[in-house]
Amino acid sequence: MTTSREVFLVDGTRTPFLKVRGKRGPFTPVDLAVQCGRPLLARQPFGADAFDMVILGCVNVIADEMNPARVAALRLGMGDQMVAFTVQINCGSGMQSLDTAFRTIREGSADMILAGGAEALSHAPLVLSDDAVDWLSGMQTATGPFATAQSALQVRPRHLKPVVGLERGLTDPITDLGMGQTAELVAHHFGITRTMADTYAVESHLRLATAQKDGTLAEELMPAFDRDGTVYREDDGVRPDSSVEKLGSLKPVFEKPYGQVTAGNASQVTDGASWCILASAEAVERHKLTPIARLVDSEWAALDPSVMGLGPVMSATPLLSRHGFGNTDIDLWEINEAFAAQVLGCLAAWQDERFCRDVLGLEGSFGPIPRDKLNIHGGAIALGHPVGTSGNRIVLHLANALKSTGGKRGVATECIGGGQGGAMILEAA
């Protein structure tokens, strides 16, 4: 039995998304969560211990930070008594934390929750091969110098070659397809060409570059500071000079030589964190808060992992139908840009009458989503996709974008590696 209380997004911040450049970045997932959370908590009129709980999405948890939500809560000075847990649904983890917080507040079990996402892909571990693990444990259980020496002699060069954990993480374990390959499949089914994908990618860069310059992100993006004294002010993967010609010169990375997906029209690999504060109407009143948006509803869907890129279509459509909303009821869309071809594939699917009827159960085509309503300040292709964070960021940014454009209602949605999709409806508060 559930009550149905209103749930508001009252504030949120994120760190700059920092592109992984071949070495470990300056921040662990929790470091990022702390960098992002401190200014957010500092600008609230209530104390850091006023929350009921903390929920954090994080996919690549590092060994020193088991349950990063709790480590972050303690490091943020939220008190010994702050309940905190970490959620993981792969690329949807940052939205999963919001969804869990939303449902918990809606049913009346909590009044205020800090929900976020944190990911440091540059800290994804190097994994030892199974053979090497067997050899190492042999070393450790050997007793006496002779046995140890004998065991040590069994080492083979292949044992020392680590497996890049990140690469394994971006491969679907059921189908053994790389994430980029699933985007190739979507592109193929919906007729997305290389030029279409590159054109979309360029626009993403240009939109973010403009937003960085005109102060759109001022309240949302907090600088991060590392121990060497470096200040990270902006998402550093953006290319304001991007062009279709330049992107056209890149070679496909997943399916050579004829594939569509290149490093230029796929999301960047980055580190970053994001937090949102969700509150009930009572909490809003008690602390005299000014909400940015109201969370209306959310939906998860699952599908064939080999076309996981259609996750937004599969999750957002039934969510909108449930509320009787059609295409024109939505003023703004945030669709996470895992791959340009994948986003364009979703848009094409929504315009495909047969697909909409047969697969989505609509009476006809859902209709086109105009580019000026979609990812209006750029997306993951320009700023990157720290997997556990992105879902949180698109919801936060959708709320801010509704406010700044005067829009009434928006949808944030994402595809999820492994074959799922998540979607959330927000209304301006």
Partner 1 sequence: MDTRLKDYLNAATLELGGAADALGDGHWRYAVDDDQIGWLVLNCTDASVNTISDKVLRELDAHLGQIEAEPPRALILRSAKPAGFAAGADIHGLADMDADTAEQLLTDAHAVLNRLQGLSCPTIAVVHGAALGAGFEIALACGYRIAIDGASFGLPEVQLGLHPGLGGTMRLPQLIDPLQAMQMMLTGKTAHTSRAKDLGIADLVVEERHLRAAIHAVVKGEVDQQARGLMGKAFGLSAARSLAAEKMRREVQKKAPKDHYPAPYALIDIWAEHGDAPRAMQKAEIASFARLLQSETSKNLIRAFKLRQKLKQGGKAHCDIARVHVVGAGVMGAEIAAWVAMQGKQVSVTDPDEGALGRMIRRATEICKDAHKDGLATRDTLDRLMPDPKGYGVRNADLVIEAGPENPEVKATIFADLGRQMKTGAILATNTSSLQLEGLTAHVPAKTRFAGLHFFNPVSKVPLVEVVSHGSTSAATRTRLMAFCNAINRLPVAVADAPGFLVNRALMPYLLEALLMLDEGIPKERIDKAALEFGMPMGPVTLADQVGLDICLDVAESLNQSLDTPIADIPSLLREKVEAGNLGRKTGRGFYDWTDGTPAPSSSVAIPADLTDRLILPMLNACAECLRKGVVGSVEDLDAAMIFATGFAPFRGGPMHYAAARGFGTVRARLAELEAAHGARFAPDPYWAEHA
Residues that bind partner 1 (CB under 8 A): 34, 38-39, 42-43, 45, 75-77, 79-81, 223, 225-231, 233
Active site residues: 91, 385, 415
One DSSP character per residue, 359-400 reads TT--SS------GGGBSTT--HHHH---HHHHHHHHHHHHHH
Nearer to partner 1, 47 or 367 (CB): 47
Nearer to partner 1, 64 or 214 (CB): 64
CB 346 within 8 A of CB 339: no
Q: Rounded to the nearest whole angstrom, what is the least distance from the CB of residue 164 to partner 1 in the complex? A: 27
Residue with tokens 């909108």: 320
Measured over the CA atoms of residue 253, residue 259, residue 262 and residue 267, the dihedral's sign is negative
Nearer to partner 1, 38 or 103 (CB): 38
For 284, list phi and psi in degrees, rounded to 5: -60, -45
Amino acid residing at 197: A
Pick from 198, 177, 309: nearest CA to 262: 198
Q: Rounded to the nearest whole angstrom, what is the least distance from the CB of residue 113 to partner 1 in the complex? A: 19
Residue 129 DSSP code: P
Pick from 402, 138, 149, 181: nearest CA to 295: 402
Q: Rounded to the nearest whole angstrom, what is the least distance from the CB of residue 231 to partner 1 in the complex? A: 4
Q: Rounded to the nearest whole angstrom, what is the least distance from the CB of residue 419 to partner 1 in the complex? A: 38
Q: Rounded to the nearest whole angstrom, what is the least distance from the CB of residue 267 to partner 1 in the complex? A: 27
Nearer to partner 1, 228 or 245 (CB): 228
CB 277 within 8 A of CB 10: yes
Nearer to partner 1, 225 or 370 (CB): 225
Taking CA atoms, 385 is separated from 92, 170, 248, 274, in Å, by 11, 12, 22, 12
Nearer to partner 1, 78 or 369 (CB): 78
Measured over the CA atoms of residue 26, residue 29, residue 34 and residue 37, the dihedral's sign is positive
- For residues 235 and 270, give the distance between their C-alpha atoms in angstroms, rounded to a whole number: 9
Q: Rounded to the nearest whole angstrom, what is the least distance from the CB of residue 16 to partner 1 in the complex? A: 12
- For residues 244 and 42, give the distance between their C-alpha atoms in angstroms, rounded to a whole number: 43
Nearer to partner 1, 213 or 322 (CB): 213
User: What 3-state class would DSSP assign to 209?
Assistant: helix
- For residues 362 and 25, give the distance between their C-alpha atoms in angstroms, rounded to a whole number: 46
Q: Rounded to the nearest whole angstrom, what is the least distance from the CB of residue 221 to partner 1 in the complex? A: 11
